[in-house]
């Protein structure tokens, strides 16, 4: 029988796979917003820290306007740590590949998320999303 840590890790990894699938397909902002807390803190290379749904929407819309096609995220080395009941720190590596109007991108980054798993809705909510 699986313990709750293994179950949580499976749920989180399945969510992450779906999240990056939608990112790579440059899905609508609304898909992502449902999984981001209202006051989410986000940081991406080349950008200052920003907060909230409006900050994400502005960043993602601008990013999509500069892309020539879908992107690719190769996620690896995922470490999930439960810090308290249903609250998780997630650290992982990503190789990000994209064709932009100005240049092609092929870079390795580290991502750190803070995520809460809502038992009532059985959905994750990301409160911090830092890419370095």
Q: Write out pLDDT tens, residues 48-98.
A: 999 999 999 999 999 999 999 999 999 999 999 999 999 999 999 999 999
Output the CA–CA distances (angstroms, integers) from residue 71 to 22, 43, 80, 94, 105, in the order listed: 10, 19, 25, 12, 10
For the entire predicted model, the pTM comes to 0.94
pLDDT at 5: 77
CA–CA dist 85, 24 (Å, integer): 31
């Amino acid at each position: 029988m699986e313990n709750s840590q293994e179950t949580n890790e499976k749920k989180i990894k399945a969510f992450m796979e779906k999240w990056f699938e939608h990112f790579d397909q440059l899905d609508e902002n609304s898909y992502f917003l449902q999984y981001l807390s209202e006051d989410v803190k986000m940081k991406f290379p080349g950008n200052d820290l920003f907060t909230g749904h409006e900050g994400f929407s502005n960043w993602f819309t601008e990013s999509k306007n500069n892309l020539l096609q879908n992107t690719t995220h190769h996620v690896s080395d995922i470490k999930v740590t439960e810090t308290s009941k249903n609250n998780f720190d997630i650290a992982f590596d990503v190789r990000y590949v994209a064709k932009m109007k100005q240049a092609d991108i092929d870079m390795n980054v580290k991502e750190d998320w803070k995520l809460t798993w809502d038992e009532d809705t059985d959905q994750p909510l990301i409160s911090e999303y830092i890419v370095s």
